[in-house]
Structure 1
């Protein structure tokens, strides 16, 4: 009788891989960190809302001037059911979002084009530089008033104001991104026979993409601000007009309710922008802040 070990049919049993304890500990730390952040955010929200409600309930703060969380919810519920003075609440949200998104698109496209153009042509940058800085220094509310005079109370004046706010944010980042392109990459492309346009499209623009996308987070918020300020100056519909009307009626809960809607829109848009950024920059190696937490 043979003393050879008996093995299962089909070959030896597969060996189980032992997971690296350091990797497990790192994942656990990341998971705990995210849970801590989420708990801190929820706790902060509860403390602020509960404290605000208690202060107004016991008349430590005057509800007429400070409003109250419960009063804000009642005002939002009333708007959702019966609408605002200018129509459905959802219509006001849509009008503001339409103005902000159109202004965002116009501002981003024009900012990228001008940033790349002036970054690649120093002569043009020197000629137009003082005028761009001068227009950038003008108060935006003045520009909004001019756009209302020129374009009326409709959609175009709000889009133009939002586009101007977005333009300068994107322009300066695109301009700096183009100026920061590695000149060795440009020289290598020229040696390989690339034309000026091919160098810009295949080397300069991809190299400046990180700068441009980084500016979009701020630009998106500015587009919403531009739309709201434009509506506040003069409009027929929109959340800015709702805020102005609530202010004129001393409706503090209405002002805070509209501000809450704007904040939720901004947070949602920021989340979508972060998803788009991860997709567009999937080729980029993760930064140190993305793989670890400060203080660890």
Structure 2
């Protein structure tokens, strides 16, 4: 099955789902109070996009997502590589890490609001907690999966700790880290939206919370649709970056010594 056929199947499935939904609403089978018509949702999205003020909400959510994603990824990779290299430190900190990871992130949102206020940084902090553990565990496992034979050969050739990190550990953990980067995008968005939903005066989460408060199912579904598109765009950007990185790694591996 080629790419064109797969895309055609995806389009047919999407049309079938939306068309069936619209027909169900028109026939009275689906209650519009809970599941509004797709046409109404689309009109709400268009009205938001046509409003200049809507883009300020998008910019705020995008800023919170990007900052939470970058900080969470940087901290997660750094901590993961460190504990992957230091088994003794990993054993000492293991119960604390497991305890922190077991805390529901939603519970942390009011604490961050209390510490950092209702502004941008409380949402960033919540996004960081969601992204951190995804990248942390992947980076740590990636470092521990390094082939001991390759590691021994690098040491025999005189590689110091910095050389091992650059030429052995990071390339070996790259696939693990890249896979976590794709997954953590959604978590960064979730962190920003939950923070806005629980307490904010702007952002896409604020728009969804406002629509819910008015029992406006159309607004809620429109916000969800925009968030889905939002994540798909970011995921596409990461997909392009990942393909370039993988191409670079392949070229480097094929290069003669």
Q: Given the alignment, which residue of 67, 71, 77 partners 2:46?
A: 77
Secondary structure (helix, strand or coil) at the match of 1:64 reads coil
Q: What residue number does 2:15 align with?
A: 46
Q: Matched residues in 1 for 2:162 and 2:212: separation?
A: 53
Q: Given the alignment, which residue of 83, 88, 92 partners 1:127?
A: 92
Q: What residue number does 2:118 align with?
A: 153
Q: Matched residues in 2 for 1:283 and 1:240: separation?
A: 38
Q: TM (normalized to structure 1)?
A: 0.82
Residue 157 of structure 2 is aligned to residue 188 of structure 1? no
How far apart are 1:94 and its partner, in Å? 1.2
Q: Given the alignment, which residue of 197, 205, 222 partners 1:240?
A: 205
8 Å CA contact retained: 2:69, 2:128: yes
Aligned residue runs from structure 1 range 45-124, under 5 A: 45-82=14-51, 88-124=53-89
Q: Given the alignment, which residue of 167, 192, 196 partners 1:227?
A: 192
- RMSD of Structure 2 on Structure 1 (CA): 1.5
Q: Which whole-Å deviations, capped at 9, do the CAs of 1:28-68 have from their partners, x for residues lacking one? A: xxxx5212211111111111111111111222212122111
Q: When the two structures are aligned, how many residues end up with a matched partner?
A: 251
Q: What residue number does 2:254 align with?
A: none
Q: Matched residues in 2 for 1:251 and 1:72: separation?
A: 11
How far apart are 1:133 and its partner, in Å? 0.8
**Which structure's CA Rg is the greater one?**
1
Q: Matched residues in 2 for 1:205 and 1:79: separation?
A: 44
How far apart are 1:129 and its partner, in Å? 1.1
Q: Given the alignment, which residue of 202, 214, 223 partners 1:249?
A: 214
Q: Matched residues in 1 for 2:173 and 2:34: separation?
A: 48
Q: What residue number does 1:197 align with?
A: 162
Q: Which whole-Å deviations, capped at 9, do the CAs of 1:208-241 have from their partners, x for residues lacking one? A: 1111001111011111111111111111210011
Q: Which whole-Å deviations, capped at 9, do the CAs of 1:111-168 have from their partners, x for residues lacking one? A: 1100000000111111111111111010010011211111111110111111111110
- Which structure 1 residue ranges, 4+ long, deviate > 6 Å from structure 2? none
For structure 1, the residue ranges without an aligned partner over 5 or more in a row are 1-31, 286-296
8 Å CA contact retained: 2:45, 2:226: no
Secondary structure (helix, strand or coil) at the match of 1:128 reads helix
Q: Matched residues in 2 for 1:205 and 1:131: separation?
A: 25
Q: What residue number does 2:2 align with?
A: 33
Distance 1:261 1:130, change over 3 A: same
Q: What residue number does 1:27 align with?
A: none
Secondary structure (helix, strand or coil) at the match of 1:67 reads coil
